[in-house]
Amino acid sequence: MIEAALKEQTTANVLNFPQDTTERVGEIFTIENELLTRDKKYQWLVALSDLHEGSMNCRHSLLLRWLSWCRENNALILFPGDLINNSLINSVGSPYNEPLSPEKQAQKVIRILLPYKDLIIGIIGGNHERRTQKQAGFNPITYIATALFGCDKDGYPKQCYPEECFLKIQFGKNSRSGDPITYLVFSTHGWGGGRKSGGTLNSTESLLEFIPADLIITGHKHVDIRSVKVRYEADIRNNCINKKLVHFMVCPSFLDREDYAKTKGLAPTPLGAGVALLNGKKKQIITLIAG
């Protein structure tokens, strides 16, 4: 009797162990854009990462050509960070080598992007923007997004994501079921992964361990890498395991080789955009890197 009572008490204690019951850890933002119609057969998505406006080595003319291409092809645009160079006294680059102050750099970006704001689905903060956030508690991304899109009812800038974002893009019509095709895109600026492309790819693909997305987009490393991984997902309702393709895209930049890259022996990197073509008739993503 005593042993049974102790066993029952032990079981009760185990069942009452404190647990993390948090279920909601983020939000998926649905993209509402007049381009995303039910009769759309495909949709271009262009990631313009690491503009570094304000640097003497920013290839401004290439950026303008890409923005024009997006307008001509009705492409949605995503900015995965480092829109401005934002050199400060204690940063790698020197503010004395930049013709514009960080504030003027942000204002220049606003002027450039204003004619294309109807195509932009998100602006993500990068490590260069976070320099000001760390030192002064001000993130230039919020300044840029507010000027372009205004604020929501809570006063937060629209389409502004300081760290990361999940974006739902829905359009077209499945040729079999008639349902719209839905894509979940995850993007964050990125982080260090070593000097070689293999290290960058490994660190980016590690997001597969916990990020449930169809397309994962990063920047930061100024390289052009794309890959596809397969993951299994359980369909409990139908008692089956489904195969899902997850696409990765690490985007190049619009910054030519800086002085700090020369002192560290870093090789020149490709310039341009990361491009994805989304199918509107079936779930299919084609990723491209275009200079």
Paired sense of beta strands 120-124 and 273-279, if any: unpaired
User: What SS3 state is found at 206?
Assistant: helix
**pLDDT tens figures, 117-158:** 999 999 999 999 998 888 878 899 999 999 999 999 999 999
CA pair distance 166, 216, nearest whole angstrom: 9
Residue-level pLDDT at 15: 62
Residue-level pLDDT at 147: 97
Domain 36-290 sits in CATH at: 3.60.21.10
What would the mean pLDDT of 242-268 be, rounded to a whole number?
A: 86
Q: Tell whether the model's pLDDT for residue 174 goes beyond 80.
A: yes
Question: What is the value of pTM for the model shown?
Answer: 0.90
Q: Note the residue count of the chain.
A: 291
Q: Where are the domains of the chain?
A: 36-290
Q: What are the beta bridge partners of residue 250?
A: 218, 225
